[in-house]
Amino acid sequence: MADDDTFIREVDEQMRQDRAQELWSRYGRFVIAGAVAIVLATAGYRAWDYYNQQRLAGYGDRFMSAIELSGRGKHDEAVRALEALAAEGGGRYPELARLRIAGEMVARGEKAEALKAFDALANDSAAMPALRETAQLQAGLLAVDLEAFSSVESRLSSLAGAGHPLRHSAREALAIAALKAGEDSKALEWLSRIVEDSEAAQGVQSRARLLLDHLAGKGVTAEG
Protein backbone atom coordinates (compact mmCIF):
# COMPACT_ATOMS: atom_id res chain seq x y z
CA MET A 1 0.00 0.00 0.00
CA ALA A 2 2.82 2.36 0.90
CA ASP A 3 4.56 1.59 -2.35
CA ASP A 4 1.33 2.36 -4.25
CA ASP A 5 1.01 5.73 -2.50
CA THR A 6 4.62 6.60 -3.28
CA PHE A 7 4.16 5.62 -6.91
CA ILE A 8 0.99 7.72 -7.22
CA ARG A 9 2.73 10.76 -5.70
CA GLU A 10 5.65 10.37 -8.10
CA VAL A 11 3.31 10.07 -11.08
CA ASP A 12 1.32 13.07 -9.86
CA GLU A 13 4.52 15.12 -9.43
CA GLN A 14 5.71 14.14 -12.90
CA MET A 15 2.36 15.12 -14.37
CA ARG A 16 2.57 18.55 -12.70
CA GLN A 17 6.09 19.07 -14.03
CA ASP A 18 5.05 18.01 -17.51
CA ARG A 19 2.05 20.31 -17.34
CA ALA A 20 4.17 23.21 -16.17
CA GLN A 21 6.64 22.63 -18.99
CA GLU A 22 3.82 22.51 -21.50
CA LEU A 23 2.31 25.72 -20.18
CA TRP A 24 5.69 27.49 -20.19
CA SER A 25 6.41 26.37 -23.73
CA ARG A 26 3.06 27.76 -24.82
CA TYR A 27 2.83 30.96 -22.78
CA GLY A 28 6.33 31.67 -21.49
CA ARG A 29 7.07 34.22 -24.17
CA PHE A 30 3.92 36.13 -23.22
CA VAL A 31 4.93 36.18 -19.55
CA ILE A 32 8.35 37.53 -20.48
CA ALA A 33 6.83 40.12 -22.79
CA GLY A 34 4.46 41.23 -20.05
CA ALA A 35 7.27 41.58 -17.53
CA VAL A 36 9.32 43.59 -20.01
CA ALA A 37 6.30 45.82 -20.72
CA ILE A 38 5.85 46.50 -16.99
CA VAL A 39 9.52 47.40 -16.60
CA LEU A 40 9.42 49.68 -19.64
CA ALA A 41 6.20 51.34 -18.49
CA THR A 42 7.63 51.98 -15.02
CA ALA A 43 10.82 53.40 -16.48
CA GLY A 44 8.82 55.54 -18.90
CA TYR A 45 6.60 56.90 -16.14
CA ARG A 46 9.61 57.78 -13.99
CA ALA A 47 11.33 59.47 -16.92
CA TRP A 48 8.20 61.48 -17.72
CA ASP A 49 7.71 62.41 -14.06
CA TYR A 50 11.31 63.62 -13.85
CA TYR A 51 10.93 65.61 -17.07
CA ASN A 52 7.67 67.14 -15.84
CA GLN A 53 9.19 68.12 -12.50
CA GLN A 54 12.16 69.73 -14.24
CA ARG A 55 9.83 71.57 -16.61
CA LEU A 56 7.71 72.92 -13.73
CA ALA A 57 10.86 73.94 -11.86
CA GLY A 58 11.87 75.93 -14.92
CA TYR A 59 8.52 77.74 -14.94
CA GLY A 60 8.98 78.48 -11.24
CA ASP A 61 12.39 80.02 -11.95
CA ARG A 62 10.87 82.19 -14.67
CA PHE A 63 8.11 83.35 -12.32
CA MET A 64 10.59 84.28 -9.59
CA SER A 65 12.78 86.12 -12.11
CA ALA A 66 9.77 88.22 -13.10
CA ILE A 67 9.09 89.00 -9.42
CA GLU A 68 12.70 90.12 -9.03
CA LEU A 69 12.36 92.43 -12.03
CA SER A 70 9.30 93.98 -10.43
CA GLY A 71 11.16 94.41 -7.16
CA ARG A 72 13.83 96.40 -9.01
CA GLY A 73 11.18 98.69 -10.46
CA LYS A 74 11.32 97.15 -13.94
CA HIS A 75 7.58 96.70 -14.17
CA ASP A 76 7.35 96.68 -17.97
CA GLU A 77 9.98 93.94 -18.23
CA ALA A 78 8.27 92.00 -15.46
CA VAL A 79 4.93 92.17 -17.26
CA ARG A 80 6.46 90.97 -20.53
CA ALA A 81 8.07 88.03 -18.76
CA LEU A 82 4.82 87.20 -16.98
CA GLU A 83 2.80 87.44 -20.19
CA ALA A 84 5.17 84.96 -21.85
CA LEU A 85 4.79 82.62 -18.87
CA ALA A 86 1.01 82.95 -18.98
CA ALA A 87 1.06 81.95 -22.65
CA GLU A 88 3.70 79.20 -22.53
CA GLY A 89 3.84 77.93 -18.95
CA GLY A 90 2.53 74.73 -17.43
CA GLY A 91 0.93 73.66 -14.18
CA ARG A 92 -0.56 76.59 -12.27
CA TYR A 93 2.11 79.06 -13.33
CA PRO A 94 0.01 80.67 -16.10
CA GLU A 95 -2.65 81.47 -13.48
CA LEU A 96 -0.06 82.82 -11.05
CA ALA A 97 1.37 84.92 -13.85
CA ARG A 98 -2.05 86.36 -14.67
CA LEU A 99 -2.63 87.21 -11.01
CA ARG A 100 0.74 88.94 -10.82
CA ILE A 101 0.19 90.84 -14.08
CA ALA A 102 -2.97 92.34 -12.59
CA GLY A 103 -0.94 93.30 -9.52
CA GLU A 104 1.62 95.01 -11.76
CA MET A 105 -1.20 97.01 -13.34
CA VAL A 106 -2.18 98.23 -9.89
CA ALA A 107 1.44 99.25 -9.23
CA ARG A 108 1.39 101.29 -12.44
CA GLY A 109 -1.86 102.99 -11.44
CA GLU A 110 -3.94 101.14 -14.05
CA LYS A 111 -6.71 100.27 -11.62
CA ALA A 112 -9.55 99.87 -14.10
CA GLU A 113 -7.47 97.54 -16.29
CA ALA A 114 -6.33 95.63 -13.21
CA LEU A 115 -9.94 95.20 -12.09
CA LYS A 116 -10.80 93.62 -15.44
CA ALA A 117 -7.77 91.31 -15.22
CA PHE A 118 -8.67 90.19 -11.70
CA ASP A 119 -12.28 89.64 -12.75
CA ALA A 120 -11.18 87.53 -15.73
CA LEU A 121 -9.19 85.21 -13.49
CA ALA A 122 -11.86 85.11 -10.79
CA ASN A 123 -14.41 83.99 -13.39
CA ASP A 124 -12.16 81.40 -15.04
CA SER A 125 -13.69 78.04 -14.11
CA ALA A 126 -10.50 76.23 -15.16
CA ALA A 127 -8.35 78.12 -12.66
CA MET A 128 -7.51 76.78 -9.21
CA PRO A 129 -10.26 77.78 -6.70
CA ALA A 130 -7.81 79.39 -4.26
CA LEU A 131 -6.37 81.60 -7.02
CA ARG A 132 -9.85 82.47 -8.24
CA GLU A 133 -10.88 83.58 -4.74
CA THR A 134 -7.67 85.57 -4.33
CA ALA A 135 -8.41 87.35 -7.61
CA GLN A 136 -11.99 87.92 -6.43
CA LEU A 137 -10.71 89.54 -3.23
CA GLN A 138 -8.24 91.74 -5.10
CA ALA A 139 -10.99 92.84 -7.47
CA GLY A 140 -13.20 93.68 -4.49
CA LEU A 141 -10.45 95.73 -2.86
CA LEU A 142 -10.02 97.73 -6.07
CA ALA A 143 -13.77 98.15 -6.39
CA VAL A 144 -13.84 100.02 -3.06
CA ASP A 145 -12.31 102.99 -4.91
CA LEU A 146 -14.00 102.40 -8.28
CA GLU A 147 -17.54 101.18 -7.71
CA ALA A 148 -20.62 101.72 -5.56
CA PHE A 149 -20.99 99.99 -2.22
CA SER A 150 -23.65 97.63 -3.58
CA SER A 151 -21.16 96.37 -6.16
CA VAL A 152 -18.43 95.86 -3.56
CA GLU A 153 -20.94 94.03 -1.37
CA SER A 154 -21.88 91.77 -4.28
CA ARG A 155 -18.22 91.01 -4.98
CA LEU A 156 -17.09 90.28 -1.43
CA SER A 157 -20.02 88.92 0.58
CA SER A 158 -19.27 85.31 -0.39
CA LEU A 159 -15.71 85.69 0.93
CA ALA A 160 -16.80 87.31 4.20
CA GLY A 161 -18.72 84.35 5.59
CA ALA A 162 -17.80 82.57 8.81
CA GLY A 163 -14.81 80.27 8.46
CA HIS A 164 -13.68 81.54 5.06
CA PRO A 165 -9.87 82.04 5.05
CA LEU A 166 -10.19 85.43 3.32
CA ARG A 167 -13.03 86.72 5.50
CA HIS A 168 -10.98 89.22 7.53
CA SER A 169 -9.75 91.17 4.50
CA ALA A 170 -13.17 90.94 2.84
CA ARG A 171 -14.96 92.24 5.95
CA GLU A 172 -12.52 95.12 6.34
CA ALA A 173 -12.99 96.13 2.71
CA LEU A 174 -16.76 95.94 3.07
CA ALA A 175 -16.65 98.13 6.18
CA ILE A 176 -14.50 100.76 4.46
CA ALA A 177 -16.72 100.75 1.37
CA ALA A 178 -19.78 101.17 3.60
CA LEU A 179 -18.18 104.11 5.44
CA LYS A 180 -17.30 105.80 2.15
CA ALA A 181 -20.89 105.36 0.98
CA GLY A 182 -22.35 106.71 4.24
CA GLU A 183 -23.78 103.29 5.09
CA ASP A 184 -22.83 103.54 8.77
CA SER A 185 -25.05 100.70 9.97
CA LYS A 186 -23.51 98.37 7.38
CA ALA A 187 -20.03 99.46 8.41
CA LEU A 188 -20.90 98.82 12.06
CA GLU A 189 -22.07 95.32 11.18
CA TRP A 190 -18.87 94.34 9.38
CA LEU A 191 -16.56 95.97 11.92
CA SER A 192 -18.35 94.22 14.77
CA ARG A 193 -17.91 90.87 13.04
CA ILE A 194 -14.17 91.54 12.78
CA VAL A 195 -13.65 92.35 16.48
CA GLU A 196 -15.84 89.42 17.54
CA ASP A 197 -13.76 86.97 15.49
CA SER A 198 -10.98 85.60 17.71
CA GLU A 199 -9.05 84.44 14.64
CA ALA A 200 -8.77 87.93 13.13
CA ALA A 201 -5.21 89.27 13.05
CA GLN A 202 -4.33 91.88 15.66
CA GLY A 203 -3.74 94.57 13.05
CA VAL A 204 -7.15 94.03 11.47
CA GLN A 205 -8.84 94.08 14.87
CA SER A 206 -7.01 97.27 15.89
CA ARG A 207 -8.11 99.08 12.75
CA ALA A 208 -11.66 97.84 13.22
CA ARG A 209 -11.76 99.17 16.78
CA LEU A 210 -10.50 102.57 15.63
CA LEU A 211 -13.28 102.74 13.05
CA LEU A 212 -15.83 101.61 15.64
CA ASP A 213 -14.67 104.47 17.88
CA HIS A 214 -15.12 106.82 14.93
CA LEU A 215 -18.66 105.57 14.45
CA ALA A 216 -19.37 105.81 18.17
CA GLY A 217 -18.27 109.45 18.04
CA LYS A 218 -21.02 109.95 15.45
CA GLY A 219 -23.53 108.21 17.73
CA VAL A 220 -23.56 105.01 15.72
CA THR A 221 -23.42 102.06 18.11
CA ALA A 222 -24.85 98.57 18.30
CA GLU A 223 -27.31 99.75 20.96
CA GLY A 224 -28.27 102.74 18.84
Structural domain for 158, as ranges: 147-224
Greater pLDDT, 57 or 136:
136
Among 103, 90, 102, 99, residue whose Cα is nearest residue 60: 90
Alpha helices in 72-183 (DSSP H): 75-88, 93-107, 111-122, 129-146, 149-156, 167-180
Out of 145, 164, 192, a domain closes at 145
Last residue of a domain, one of 98, 124, 145: 145
Residue 65 shares a structural domain with residue 81: yes
pTM above 0.75, yes or no: no
Side chain identity at residue 68, one-letter code: E
pLDDT score at 8: 44
> Does residue 24 sit within a domain?
no
Number of domain units in the chain: 2
Phi, psi (degrees; rounded to nearest 5) at 195: -70, -20
Asked if residue 7 belongs to a domain, the reply is no
Q: What is the average pLDDT value for the chain, to the nearest integer?
A: 81
Q: How many residues does the chain have?
A: 224
Tens-place pLDDT, residues 14-41:
555 555 555 556 555 555 555 555 655 5
What percentage of the chain carries pLDDT values higher than 70? 74
Q: Are residues 84 and 136 in the same domain?
A: yes
Q: 163 and 224 share a domain?
A: yes
DSSP string of 56-101?
HHHHHHHHHHHHHHHHTT-HHHHHHHHHHHHHH--TTHHHHHHHHH
DSSP label of 181? T
